[in-house]
Amino acid sequence: MLLQIILLGLSFALLAWSADRFVLGASATAALLGLSPLLVGLTIVAFGTSAPELLVSALAALAGSPGLAVGNAIGSNIANMGLILGLTALFAPLLIRGRILQREVPAMALVMLGTWLLMLNGRLDRPEGIALLAGLVALTAWLAWIIRRSNGNGADAALVAPVNGLPEDAPTRLPRALLWLLLGLVVLLISAQTAVWAATGLAERAGVAETVVGLTLVAVGTSLPELATCLAAARRSQGDIAIGNIIGSNIFNLLGVLGLAATLRPVALEPGILSRDYATMAGITLIFFLLSHGLRQRGHVGRAAGAFLVLLWVAWLVWLGLDNLGP
């Protein structure tokens, strides 16, 4: 147990360092290629930091642990919208710019609705998993279409506007920027997986149920790259990367993570996944949408809103704990 605690602490330290390098490499790469920070957040950063969820859920499905596979994907989304987005806004208020986010958030809601309809029968079979993966491909093609038709003006300016004002230590050559991007991502994923292994081992010693482990420790553990990346992005005043990371990661978790898990092996849903956990995910997403269209400043997620999102995540944890108390 002592070894697991030490590994957990070291993993957190490596997460902080690698996330900082990853965001720096992503920002520099975007600037050198003439891309936007929001585009980088929605694609490279979001999909890259969702790799732990993809790996854990795929392995869990193959091992016959559906509670861990599904709980990881849904629990990660709840953590992303409540804990991670909330903590990031507490650290540095986030500004949501451009009409593109008004398309991305509804797109995320549409993905959530479609996935919920597929899960209503209490299972995710291979055809449904393939449909989710096809949805991910279609969404990526939609993003590519938006980029191709955008000219950097008006509504799409936030999507296509290049990164400006990079820090002094940012790479000025593309090979070095790509090196930081790749090195940061590799260390990010390894340290996250080490943290998950250590935290899961500690939970198993305490006799916690598989579904609860998937929804909480594993979900938060595999979301550590998103947390570290968002905090690093906020510190470097790259709020677009943070927002794009959360939206892109949540879409990827539903379409890619659940889709791959169900494609590898049909998944049976445990009681409470839809009525409690999926409903919580949808509710926090709706609240975020309302907060981002606040009365005082449209498109602004401030510290008060961040604190409220974190409290919602804590309330869900209490609800989950009460539902799983044994007689």
Q: For 142-184, how does the pLDDT look when each residue is reduced to its tens digit (9 = 90+)?
A: 876 776 666 544 444 444 444 444 555 667 788 888 888 888 8
Give me the DSSP letters along 20-61: HHHHHHHHHHHHHHT--HHHHIIIIIHHHHTHHHHHHHHHHH
Q: What is the mean pLDDT of residues 182-193?
A: 83
Does pLDDT of 271 surpass 60?
yes
Structure tokens at 309: 């999102």
267 φ/ψ angles, rounded to the nearest 5 degrees:
-115, 125
- Domain ranges within the chain, ordered by starting residue: 2-323
Q: Which CATH superfamily is domain 2-323 in?
A: NCX, central ion-binding region (1.20.1420.30)
Q: Which DSSP state fits 268?
A: E
Residue 154 pLDDT? 45
120 φ/ψ angles, rounded to the nearest 5 degrees:
-60, -30
Strands 94-95 and 123-124 turn out to be: unpaired
| Segment 103-153, tens digit of pLDDT | 777 888 899 999 999 999 989 999 999 999 999 989 877 876 776 666 544
Residue 111 pLDDT? 94
Confidence band, pLDDT 50/70/90 cuts, at residue 38: low
| Segment 39-55, tens digit of pLDDT | 666 666 666 667 777 87
Nearest to 312 by CA among 121, 84, 153, 149: 84
Q: How far apart are CA 222 and CA 105, in angstroms?
A: 22
Q: How far apart are CA 53 and CA 144, in angstroms?
A: 24
What global pTM score does this model have?
A: 0.79
Give me the DSSP letters along 157-199: HHHHPPP----TTS-SSHHHHHHHHHHHHHHHHHHHHHHHHHH
